[in-house]
């Protein structure tokens, strides 16, 4: 595999920010579903950066992206946005396990972890423990939705996370050395602001429609 292919397949935080930002356009309270899926395809590369600890999340996210993409392709009107998807599925009475709303909820929960992890990654000091930070982020978010076995596996595997220096470069600096701190700060701030807006809009829609606990 050539260097150019490696670069193209690597995580690009600016692309995630751009796609999430586009997904918010055109409405003050909705999220474009296709752009959200495209953003998540890029965001899923972050789980690969974290190594084997989140391999199961990476695969699950890819599966969920595929389900939503198929629903959008089959009915782009009903599945054009998160709001239209929820309205369509509540109106037609689609069984929960077949709902795009249920599938999106899994991605939504994972996004909460990513936002917190990226924020803490940016703010932590050089002497802080990456593994402890990751476990804390996980316990505050995704752990609430996982069984005991997965929670224990994450706790043990978090000790194998890459170094802080490596993760900073992979997440914020396009895998390059010597990137100015100002640029790293800019990427971190923009991601936190835009991803949080996306999360908050979806959270509000799920709460208002009482579907935040779909099985």
User: What is the model's pLDDT at position 1?
Assistant: 37
In a domain, 214, yes or no: no
In a domain, 5, yes or no: no
Distance separating the N- and C-terminal Cα atoms of the chain: 41
Q: Which residues contact 61 (CB under 8 A, 6 or more apart)?
A: 40, 44, 47, 106, 107, 110
Residue 37 belongs to domain with CATH number: 1.10.3520.10
In a domain, 19, yes or no: yes
> If the chain, 215 residues long, is cut into consecutive pieces of 10 residues, what is the mean pLDDT of each piece?
46 94 93 96 87 76 93 95 95 80 94 94 88 90 83 79 87 79 91 97 96 84
In a domain, 130, yes or no: yes
How far apart CA 76 and CA 193 sit, in angstroms, is 28
Query: pTM for this one?
Result: 0.90
User: What is the model's pLDDT at position 145?
Assistant: 85
Q: Which residues of 184-202 are buried (b: 16+ CB within 10 A; e: fewer)?
A: beebbebbbebbbebbebb
User: What is the model's pLDDT at position 6?
Assistant: 37
Q: Could you tell me the residue range of the domain that residue 51 belongs to?
A: 13-208
User: What is the model's pLDDT at position 143?
Assistant: 84
In a domain, 8, yes or no: no
In a domain, 81, yes or no: yes
User: What is the model's pLDDT at position 96?
Assistant: 65
How far apart CA 141 and CA 145 sit, in angstroms, is 8
In a domain, 4, yes or no: no
């Amino acid at each position: 595999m050539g260097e150019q292919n490696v670069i193209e397949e690597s995580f690009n935080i600016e692309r995630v920010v751009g796609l999430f930002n586009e997904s918010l356009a055109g409405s003050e309270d909705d999220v474009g579903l296709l752009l959200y899926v495209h953003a998540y395809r890029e965001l899923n590369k972050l789980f690969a950066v974290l190594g084997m600890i989140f391999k199961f999340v990476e695969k699950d996210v890819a599966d969920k992206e595929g389900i939503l993409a198929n629903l959008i392709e089959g009915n782009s009107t009903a599945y054009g946005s998160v709001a239209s998807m929820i309205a369509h599925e509540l109106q037609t009475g689609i069984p929960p396990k077949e709902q795009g709303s249920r599938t999106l909820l899994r991605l939504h929960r994972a996004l909460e972890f990513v936002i917190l992890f990226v924020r803490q990654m940016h703010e932590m000091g050089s002497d802080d423990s990456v593994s402890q930070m990751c476990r804390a982020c996980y316990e505050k978010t995704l752990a609430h939705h996982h069984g005991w076995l997965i929670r224990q596996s994450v706790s043990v595997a978090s000790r194998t996370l890459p170094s802080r220096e490596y993760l900073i470069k992979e997440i914020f600096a396009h895998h390059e050395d010597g990137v100015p701190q100002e640029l790293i700060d800019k990427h971190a701030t923009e991601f936190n602001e835009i991803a949080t807006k996306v999360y908050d809009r979806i959270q509000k829609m799920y709460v208002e429609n009482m579907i935040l606990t779909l099985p």
